[in-house]
Structure 1
């Protein structure tokens, strides 16, 4: 018979936890690299259509991108360290990702310059950030984070 406190006892760490945590780290590192490329590439080196899109981005979109990737990287590191702070950090990263891609739908100039591919990338990236947040929450619920 199970005691009522047993359902809250931490479960043994699953072997796949480390695969998931490393995958989140690699994904966030790719996001950081993409951010650095987007802010440090001289606009005159871009094709005209990409340059126009980059110039149309509102400042808050760029700020949300920075928050999404850098806070997400901290969340991934926290996952590797098995710290509970990964959950709120990855939630902030998710909100940042949503605001990063929101202009594709709500800012008229960005919307007219964006391609279908840009929208698809936004959906996929946001889904992956949500999955990272879900993984952290799941890990916390299992008692794998301290």
Structure 2
């Protein structure tokens, strides 16, 4: 949906009070705080790059101009994000390919080389060299193997 369609939707139908805001990754917290200051309620950050809130349609043009907001999309009752808060993360094993989700090595992929209590030692490639990094087991996610490798 284009910005023009979203604007038309917001002015034609005031029933769209629930909005998904596409946000620059890393700016979700900042945008969520600004939405609360603008009077939005039920502000959630369901996944990286998105903020969802109940907002007055008249505030949406102001929100679109906030730093970090890429676009605003009206949500219907059928548009739902999967609640993943109670899903158990897959525990990494030695030799699993994982992606680090936080810290200085966030978004890097590597291979688990050792498990050390609550920590995982992961070999990642940094500037062409293999570097072993330590991350919390809860901060890595197991990446599925491509079908031909199974």
TM-score tier by shorter-chain length is under 0.3
Q: TM-score, normalised to structure 2's length?
A: 0.23
Q: TM-score, normalised to structure 1's length?
A: 0.23
Q: Which has the higher helix share?
A: 1
Structure with greater contact order relative to length (CA < 8 Å, sep ≥ 6): 1
